[in-house]
Amino acid sequence: MNRARRARIVATLGPASREPGMVKALAKAGADVFRLNFSHGSHEDHAAALKAVRGAELALQRPLGVLADLQGPKLRLGTFADGKIEVTPGHRMVFDLDPTPGGPDRVSMPHPEIFAALRPGMALLIDDGRVRLKVVEAAKDNALVEVVAGKALSDRKGVAVPDAVIPLSALTEKDHRDLQFALRIGVDWVALSFVQRAEDMAELRKLVAGRAACLAKIEKPSALQDLEAILNYCDGVMVARGDLGVECAPEEVPVAQKQILRAARNRGVPAIVATQMLESMTTQPTPTRAEASDVANAVYEGADAVMLSAETASGQYPLEAVSVMNRIMERVEADPVWPSLMDAEHAGMDDADADALVAAARKAADASSTACIAVFTTLGGTARRMARERPLQPVIALTPKPETARRLSLVWGLEPRLAAQPETLEDVTDLAVEQAVEAGFAKPGQRILILAGTPFGAPGAANLLRLAHAPLGGRPRRAAKAG
């Protein structure tokens, strides 16, 4: 089963969508990667959801990725004696470490790490920014704050500190347990929340130890400031606009989205645009026009993937949400202007040999007789380099490793397929032609560009570019299938 578009869809599984029949329907409708949100649901729920994805993958004969999204630290206020208090601008109160239920004059904020980072003049955002506070005085175990905007504070509302880097690991004890479970059941991607600096991703990468690809959720201003360093430890990034929209001014979020997408593409790192893409479809069968434009703009910007959250996890119309998103993306990519936008920006060359070969393949693919590009890849590096160039022809990523095929299902324009490891140059040509013809990407007589590396099977950069043609009659010699 092939996609008629290059950008990919990430769908979150939850109570509305984790049953095997629905998972298969979502994949058939357009979902390429399925997200397991570890902020909700039990380990048993997530294991069942992953099993359903693997069943859909087998039924549809298309690699499907699974993304485990770790919850990260949740910074919250304590409780109030009456459950809530009314506030007005100018109201002053103390936040402290005392667990006693609070009132109009004080309340607990049980996070010494926050007090360690606070300075007079800093902003505090409560309840997703519904209440804005200013720090007047700060000590190691308390702070005097003043209300700038908002009407009420209530029990256990979230706290955000946009002006500070909190001296807190992005991985909680819960995250450690969830991570080990996710790796044990065989997820393909792990997303880290609350990333503030490159060290957070380095810690995750060390724990994962190559068992999955690592993705950073960019949702804090400090992460934006350290973006290039964070990308050094990433296999992917997510523009997490929910929390980013709380900690940044609204006008900053679209600019941040473009900044992240541009930096990720320059590195050849797949990027997901997430949060409120089709939010109204949690309760309505069609999106708003603004939401349709939001999805379209992400595709025009060259995002590798767009993500559905509550729309598919708990919404009333999960299948319709994926179907609508798929149609919007296909329509954008049919726009005559879209190819020029994809070709407008190309990354610099980091590895002279591999990048030069990929650039040559991208240029050669412009010939009208070229039907597709076949890339042999062991760990996915060569395929991602090819995707970074945004070729308009289908790119078949051929790999003997199921885990590589599943990870590449997130990457722009790639059609990952399992294939035997070639042993000779003849195998390279035969396998590429066979896969291109069987998948329907090449018709008799059309040109197929082949990118591979020698020695065969050794992870590393491509060093071989070949031209082949789909046979005019008969079938190419069948090579051994991947085991």
* Catalytic residue ranges: 35, 76, 217, 275
The set of long-range contacts for 18-25, using a CB threshold of 8 Å and a minimum separation of 24, is 18/45, 18/48, 18/49, 18/52, 19/52, 20/51, 20/52, 20/55, 20/56, 22/318, 22/319, 23/49, 23/52, 23/53, 23/55, 23/56, 24/52, 24/55, 24/56, 24/59, 24/60, 25/319
DSSP structure string for 397-424: EEES-HHHHHHHTTSTTEEEEE-PPP-S
| Token representation of residue 291 | 């939401």
CA-to-CA distance for 304 and 260, rounded, in angstroms?
A: 12
CA-to-CA distance for 275 and 182, rounded, in angstroms?
A: 23
Angle between helix axes 43-60 and 20-29 (nearest 10 degrees) is 50
The answer to whether residues 219 and 253 touch, using CB atoms and an 8 Å cutoff, is no
According to DSSP, the β-strands at 33-37 and 8-13 are parallel
DSSP structure string for 117-159: H--TT-EEEETTTTEEEEEEEE-SSEEEEEEEE-SEEETT-BE
Name the DSSP class of 228.
Answer: H
Q: Which of 265, 227, 246, 244 is nearest to 386 (CA)?
A: 265
Specify the DSSP element, H or E, that contains 355: helix 352-364
CA-to-CA distance for 102 and 50, rounded, in angstroms?
A: 43
The answer to whether residues 171 and 177 touch, using CB atoms and an 8 Å cutoff, is no
CA-to-CA distance for 199 and 189, rounded, in angstroms?
A: 19
- Please, which residues have CB within 8 angstroms of residue 236's CB and are 6 or more apart in sequence? 189, 213, 214, 215, 216, 264, 269, 270, 271, 272, 304, 410
| Token representation of residue 177 | 């347990």
| Token representation of residue 222 | 């400090």
- Please, which residues have CB within 8 angstroms of residue 301's CB and are 6 or more apart in sequence? 257, 258, 261, 273
Amino acid identity of 408? L
Q: Which of 166, 172, 84 is nearest to 124 (CA)?
A: 166
The answer to whether residues 400 and 418 touch, using CB atoms and an 8 Å cutoff, is yes
The answer to whether residues 232 and 111 touch, using CB atoms and an 8 Å cutoff, is no
CA-to-CA distance for 200 and 175, rounded, in angstroms?
A: 13
